[in-house]
C-alpha cells in the first residue's frame, strides 16, 4: 500500500478510536444520571380503588422523575406488610401502624419505621348482618368471628376486648380467606367478621349485598382512637438511601393530589393492573376512603402524611397497656416526618 494510503488509514483508525473513547466517556457520564433506585413495596390488600392514588405515581411518571423504579405487589392484610418489611422481603410497605407499634415494643431492632401516615382515622370494625342479634361488643361473647390471619382489626381484637371489658377467650375465632369473608358472613358461617369498614362494605357491594344489609361495631366508638395505614420503610433503606425515601414520598404526594383531582384516572390506574374490578364500585370505595379513613380534622394543622405526636403517643401507650407489651416505644421509634415534602406542598384539606 502506498505511504499516503497507510497514513490515511492510520488517521481513520485514530479518529475511530477517539470516537469510541468519546462514546464510552459519554456513556459513563450518563450512567449515574440514568440509574434508578429499585424499591420493592408490598401493599395492604389486593388491587382496588384506593390504591389508585399510589399507582398514579408510576403511571404519571412521578417515580421516574425521582429516579426510582418501584414495584408494588398486592398484600394480604394491613398487618402483614410490617413483618414483610422487617424481614427484608420488601423495602417499603403500606400497612397498619399499630402492628408496627407491637413489633417495635417486642423487637425494636427489627422494626421498620413509618414515614407517612395516610389513614388518620381508625377504620377497624366488626361487621354483622343487619338482622343479627349482635348489637354491642358484649353480644359477641359465645359467638364465632371470622377474619383473615393478617387483618388489622383481628390483630387489634385483644385491645378491643380490653377496651370493652369482654373476655376474648369466650369468643371463637375462625381464620378465613380474605376473598371469602363477606360471603361467609352473609351465609351465616360466621356471626361477624373483622376488617376495615369500607373494605367490607364495598367488597359486599361487589357480590350484590346492599349497604343496609350490614351493620358495624367500630373500634373507634369504644376509645381506640388509632392511626392506621402508613407508608413504612426498612431501617436499611432509611439509613443507606434517605434521598430515595424523600423522592418516593414526593412522588406519592403528587400522586395523591392528582388522584383527588381526577378520581377516574386513579381507578383507570387500578384497572390497568386488575381488569376485573368494577370501576363504579371502586370509585365509590376510593371516595369513601378519602372521606372517612383520611379526613381527620388534624389534617388542617399537620398536613397529609404527618401526625399529631401527642395523639400517636396516646395510641402507643394504649396499645402497650392493653396488650401488656414489654416496652413502650418512643414516638420517634414509630414515625418520623423528616422525609415528608414541606407542609406547603402537602394537602391540608380534602373537601
Distance separating alpha carbons of residues 283 and 289, to the nearest angstrom: 10
Query: Cβ(104)–Cβ(97) under 8 Å?
Result: no
What pLDDT score does 178 carry?
87
Instruction: For domain 124-222, say whether CATH 3.40.50.300 is its number.
Output: no
Residues 6+ apart with CB under 8 A from 244: 37, 39, 66, 68, 237
DSSP 127: E
- Output the CA torsion sign for 121, 124, 128, 133: negative
* Of residues 252, 218, 205, the one with CA closest to residue 65: 252
Q: What per-residue confidence (pLDDT) applies to 35?
A: 81
pLDDT at residue 150, as a whole number:
84
pLDDT of residue 76: 87
Q: Give me the pLDDT at residue 160, please.
A: 95
Strand order from edge to edge, sheet including 192-196: 172-175, 144-147, 192-196, 124-129, 214-218
Output the furthest CA–CA distance in the chain (Å, rounded): 106
Alpha-carbon distance of 106 to 323, in angstroms, equals 11
Three-state SS at 332 = helix
**234, 258, 334 from 249: Cα distances, Å:** 14, 14, 17
C-alpha distance from residue 244 to each of 112, 155, 213, 233 (Å): 16, 31, 46, 11
Find, among 178, 177, 138, 173, the residue nearest to 156 by Cα.
173
Residues of the chain with CATH 3.40.190.10: 37-121+227-345, 124-222
Between helices 197-206 and 279-288, what is the axis angle to 10°? Answer: 160
d(CA 117, CA 97): 8
Rounded to 5°, angle at Cα 218 from 131 and 115: 145
* C-alpha triplet 259, 312, 314: angle, nearest 5°: 145
All three cell numbers of 307, joined, read 401526625
Res 54: pLDDT: 98
pLDDT of residue 249: 98
The reply to whether CATH 3.40.190.10 applies to domain 37-121+227-345 is yes
* CA–CA separation, 306 and 237 (whole Å): 20
| Whole-number Å distance between alpha carbons of 197 and 124 | 6
- What is the dihedral sign for C-alpha 84, 87, 90, 96? positive
The pLDDT profile of the chain, 351 residues, written as one tens digit per residue, is 443 443 444 444 444 444 444 444 444 444 445 589 999 999 998 999 999 999 999 999 999 999 999 999 999 888 899 999 999 999 999 999 999 999 999 999 999 999 999 999 999 999 999 999 999 999 999 999 999 988 999 999 999 999 999 999 999 999 999 889 999 999 999 999 999 999 999 999 999 999 999 999 999 999 899 999 999 999 999 999 999 999 999 999 999 999 999 999 999 999 999 999 999 999 999 999 999 999 999 999 999 999 999 999 999 999 999 889 999 999 999 999 999 999 999 999 999
d(CA 9, CA 26): 26
d(CA 55, CA 52): 5
In terms of Cβ atoms closer than 10 Å to its own Cβ (0-12, 13-18, 19+), residue 168 is: middle
* Nearest Cα to Cα of residue 96 among 223, 244, 224: 224
Q: What is the pLDDT of residue 34?
A: 59
pTM, two decimals, is 0.85
Amino acid at each position: 500500500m502506498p505511504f499516503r494510503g497507510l497514513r490515511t488509514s492510520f488517521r481513520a483508525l485514530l479518529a475511530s478510536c477517539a470516537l469510541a473513547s468519546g462514546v464510552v466517556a459519554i456513556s459513563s457520564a450518563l450512567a449515574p444520571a440514568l440509574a434508578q433506585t429499585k424499591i420493592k413495596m408490598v401493599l395492604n390488600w389486593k388491587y382496588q380503588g384506593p390504591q389508585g392514588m399510589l399507582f398514579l405515581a408510576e403511571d404519571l411518571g412521578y417515580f421516574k422523575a425521582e429516579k426510582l423504579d418501584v414495584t408494588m405487589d398486592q398484600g394480604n392484610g394491613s398487618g402483614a406488610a410490617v413483618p414483610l418489611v422487617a424481614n427484608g422481603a420488601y423495602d417499603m410497605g403500606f400497612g397498619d401502624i399499630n402492628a408496627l407499634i407491637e413489633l417495635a415494643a417486642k423487637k425494636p431492632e427489627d422494626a421498620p419505621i413509618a414515614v407517612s401516615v395516610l389513614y388518620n382515622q381508625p377504620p377497624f370494625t366488626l361487621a354483622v348482618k343487619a338482622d343479627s342479634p349482635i348489637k354491642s361488643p358484649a353480644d359477641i361473647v359465645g359467638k364465632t368471628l371470622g377474619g383473615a390471619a393478617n387483618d388489622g382489626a383481628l390483630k387489634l381484637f385483644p385491645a378491643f376486648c380490653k377496651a370493652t371489658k369482654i373476655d376474648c377467650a369466650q369468643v371463637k375465632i375462625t381464620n378465613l380467606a380474605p376473598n371469602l369473608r363477606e360471603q361467609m358472613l352473609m351465609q351465616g358461617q360466621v356471626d361477624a367478621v373483622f376488617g376495615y369498614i369500607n373494605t367490607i362494605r364495598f367488597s359486599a357491594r361487589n357480590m350484590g349485598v346492599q349497604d343496609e344489609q350490614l351493620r358495624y361495631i367500630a373500634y373507634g366508638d369504644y376509645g381506640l382512637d388509632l392511626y392506621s395505614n402508613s407508608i413504612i420503610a426498612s431501617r436499611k433503606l432509611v439509613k443507606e438511601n434517605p434521598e430515595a425515601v424523600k423522592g418516593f414520598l414526593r412522588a406519592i404526594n403528587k400522586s395523591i393530589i392528582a388522584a383527588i383531582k381526577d378520581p377516574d384516572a386513579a381507578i383507570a390506574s387500578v384497572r390497568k393492573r386488575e381488569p376485573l374490578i368494577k370501576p363504579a364500585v371502586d370509585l365509590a370505595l376510593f371516595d369513601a376512603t378519602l372521606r372517612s379513613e383520611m379526613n381527620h380534622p388534624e389534617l388542617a394543622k399537620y398536613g397529609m402524611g404527618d401526625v399529631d405526636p401527642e395523639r400517636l403517643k396516646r395510641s402507643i401507650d394504649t396499645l402497650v397497656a392493653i396488650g401488656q407489651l414489654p416496652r413502650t416505644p418512643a414516638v420517634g421509634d414509630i414515625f418520623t416526618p423528616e422525609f415528608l415534602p414541606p407542609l406547603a406542598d402537602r394537602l391540608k384539606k380534602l373537601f
